[in-house]
Structure 1
Amino acid sequence: MKIVKVLKPFGPYTVGDVAGFDDAYAEKLIGQKRVEPCGEKTDKAKPGGKTPPPPAA
């Protein structure tokens, strides 16, 4: 899991939000410049956390 800071709004997230996503999805969002890495990588998701579906192209 990677912690990221949102740079462009998507789904339920707005600019400045901090969220955690699985590594592959976080890397995809980083590549799209929608988010930037923030904080440290974690091994586990926090209970109750959800990963939203990928944004529509």
Structure 2
Amino acid sequence: MVAMVKSVISNANAGYEQLTKTTKQAVQTMEANVNSATEQFTQATEKATRAKK
């Protein structure tokens, strides 16, 4: 019984760690995409501003 409880706790911990890792990777990917989109928007805005002058 004790071994089964330890196994359940270990599996739950492993699942939590995997979820945390996956979430962190998803957030990093989203941040990279937002940064890229922001950079592209900034470049397009600067180009349009220069073209008007």
TM-score normalised by structure 2 residue count: 0.23
Greater share of helix: 2
Task: Between the two structures, name the one with larger relative contact order (CA 8 Å, sep ≥ 6).
Answer: 1
TM-score normalised by structure 1 residue count: 0.22
Larger Rg: 2
